[in-house]
A and B are shown apart, each in its own frame.
Chain A
Amino acid sequence: AIQLTQSPSSLSASVGDRVTITCRASPGIGSALAWYQQRPGRAPQLLIYDASTLESGVPSRFSGSGSGTDFTLTISSLQPEDYATYYCQQFNSYPLFTFGPGTKLDFK
């Protein structure tokens, strides 16, 4: 089974900061990785798929990179609405899925 880990598990940052979250897959998954944002009390929202493709309507301050086993989600300039929990997800074994444990981003 494909396992995903995320680091850090939590992160404090200020508005305007550049933020990077890492996801590691074992075994490798090519570019079959997505990132989701989940605000409190809300359903997750797809941000990025295929490791680096921005979902329609998602602000360009979000970007993704990586392939194989190591992936990153970057927020170039943190905005107040970005405080949320972020999950990576693999779809290499579609329609079977695995989520990472999540990274909680809060206000510094």
Chain B
Amino acid sequence: QVQLQESGPGLVKPSGTLSLSCAVSGYSIGSGYYWGWIRQPPGKGLEWIGSVYHSGNTYYNPSLRSRVTMSVDTSKNQFSLKLTSVTAADTAVYYCARLSITMDIWGQGTVVTVSS
């Protein structure tokens, strides 16, 4: 059974960098699939942030591209998200997901608040 688990600081200061990791169990990231990040601000809808392949290929939401970096660590079987220059608008629940043609497996989500 494939499971994903997000981890990282729950509080980030404005202008700082948000860093999250997603640990994958039950499947080897190096075997295939894209892996992605999605966020949901309080009371709002879902926003796709980006997708990363085990080879390191990445695709980012154009609205966030200048601030986002995603990477994969196959030795740890996890992938990561970095979002720079954060503001209060980046406060959200951040989900990681496996990307078959759709997002078929999700992590439980982690709350990140941007505040001083």
* Interface residue ranges, A against B (CB under 8 Å): 1, 32, 34, 36, 38, 43-46, 49-50, 55, 87, 89, 91, 94-102
Contacts and interface: CB of A to CB of B under 8 A. Distances in A.
B47 A99 contact: yes
Tell me the interface secondary structure of chain B in the complex. strand
Contacts of A95: 34, 36, 51, 53, 59, 99
A32 B100 CA distance: 12
Contacts, number: 58
Interface residues of B, number: 21
Contact of B102 (A1, A38, A43, A89): A89
Q: Which label, helix, strand, loop or mixed, suits the secondary structure of the A interface? A: loop
A95 B103 CA distance: 10
Contacts of A102: 45-46
